[in-house]
Structure 1
Amino acid sequence: MQRTTIALVITFGLLGCQASSPSEPDFQPLLTSIEQRLDLATSVAVHKWDNHLPVEAPERERQVLSGVQEMAPDYDLSPERAAAFFADQIEANKLIQYTLRDRWTVLGQRPPAAPLDLASQIRPRLDKLQATLLFKLARFDRHKYPDCRQALAHALAGRTNDPVRHQALVRATTQLCVEH
């Protein structure tokens, strides 16, 4: 019994050592959700390609930004902070879409993939991620981090070997370390 107690104390003690301190930003939860949103960019691009729609969707962008501004106070975020963060998410998503469309235009077709419906399949996923991203952004914002930009650059450096995805992550996190 005593060995079990000692083992548990050591295990939990070591786990505590792995957690980020308030002076070290833990980008991982937020970056994971950002990447999940970026993963949907391919499905959006396929839908827009198949339906001959432009990448730019200003009305939809306004709806998203308006929605996050309305939801922001529920997450203890300012509407301006939420809108700026989501504007970056939208631009990162479009970066991937434009890159894919360019590749597909050169090839004369897109790769075979089962298309998903934008309204009934993709947007519900984006909406769910919207709430998750607001929650994780608010949790991230509760702390002030010295050298946030440098720590973010290091966190991004090891996330992907794909240069387009890396650029999209950089774009999606442009204002993450901005004072709010």
Structure 2
Amino acid sequence: MPVPLRARGLRAAARCLLALGATAALSLGGAALPAPAATPTPSVTHAEPRPLAAVTSLAARRIALADKVAAAKYGTPAPIDDPARERQILDDVAARSAALGLDPALAQAVFRDQIEANKVVQRGLYARWDAHPEQRPTGRPDLATEVRPALDRITTELLGALRQLTPVRATPACVPLLTAAALRDAHSHRFDALHLKGLARALPSVCAV
């Protein structure tokens, strides 16, 4: 059965992100992603790349916060997978998106990806800290007062960004523009291979073609 165009495009984008992350890991010991090479901007008709850039920027900020989430939970009974908390987030996103005139199904799909991406990074950090105790965090951020308020602010901003996506996400340029924006954000945050993998996992529901 032929692979749908959208799936092919998103898989190609994810492969691009992950390949660059692997290159960074090999050449820099996993320290950071090198500056992306200049690439031609896709020709866009009736599409505006700024909403996509806003989405990838917020997704990258959320990925960066996964380190604090992991540090808050590591060595405690708090699980990485928390279905009750995840359902609460998705229900809240659906209610808020409906009030904004945003498709609740789209909002939930994107935020489900954000949650899974965060867990990818948490699991990777747990494995790293188990193998290298000297790299374990020396402090424990407070989930209730420090981490979750920051995540909530990103949620509000990301819902607003998604609301602006409708003219862009259904165009053929969506995937290449999304990939280019994600690479810029990954470089800005100096993401290593693990965080780049998380960012790739955060974005598959953004484009519709």
TM norm structure 2: 0.69
Whole-angstrom distance in 2 between the partners of 1:128 and 1:115: 21
- 2:88 is aligned to 63
Match of 2:49 among 11, 21, 25: 25
1:145 aligned onto 2:171: yes
**Aligned partners of 1:25 and 1:145 also within 8 Å:** no
1:48 aligned onto 2:73: yes
- One-letter amino acid of the counterpart of residue 47, structure 2: S
Higher gyration radius (CA): 1
- 1:167 is aligned to 197
Deviation at 1:51, TM superposition (A): 1.7
Matches within 5 A, 1:101-112: 101-108=126-133, 110-112=135-137
**Aligned partners of 1:73 and 1:79 also within 8 Å:** yes
Deviation at 1:79, TM superposition (A): 1.2
Worse-matched range after superposition: 54-63 or 160-169: 160-169
- One-letter amino acid of the counterpart of residue 182, structure 2: L
- One-letter amino acid of the counterpart of residue 98, structure 1: R
- 1:176 is aligned to 206
Evaluate the alpha carbon distance shift between residue 75 and residue 109 of structure 1 in structure 2; reply closer, same or farther with a 3 A threshold: farther
Partner of 1:178: helix, strand, or coil?
Answer: coil
- One-letter amino acid of the counterpart of residue 193, structure 2: P
- 2:37 is aligned to none
Worse-matched range after superposition: 57-66 or 42-51: 42-51
- 1:5 is aligned to none
1:97 aligned onto 2:143: no
Identity of matched residues, %: 32
Deviation at 1:67, TM superposition (A): 0.5
Matches within 5 A, 1:127-142: 127-142=152-167
- One-letter amino acid of the counterpart of residue 141, structure 1: T
Aligned residues: 160
Deviation at 1:168, TM superposition (A): 1.2
**Aligned partners of 1:69 and 1:82 also within 8 Å:** yes
Deviation at 1:104, TM superposition (A): 0.5
**Aligned partners of 1:41 and 1:93 also within 8 Å:** yes
**Aligned partners of 2:117 and 2:199 also within 8 Å:** yes
Whole-angstrom distance in 1 between the partners of 2:143 and 2:200: 25
TM norm structure 1: 0.79
Q: CA RMSD in A?
A: 2.0
Deviation at 1:151, TM superposition (A): 2.5
- One-letter amino acid of the counterpart of residue 162, structure 2: L
Query: What is the CA deviation profile of residues 82-141 of structure 1, one whole-angstrom value per residue up to 9, with x for unaligned ones?
Result: 110100000110010000000011123653343211122211111111111100111122
Q: Which structure is higher in RCO with an 8 Å CA cutoff and minimum separation 6?
A: 2
Whole-angstrom distance in 2 between the partners of 1:169 and 1:177: 15
Deviation at 1:33, TM superposition (A): 1.1
Structure 2 gaps, min length 5: 1-43
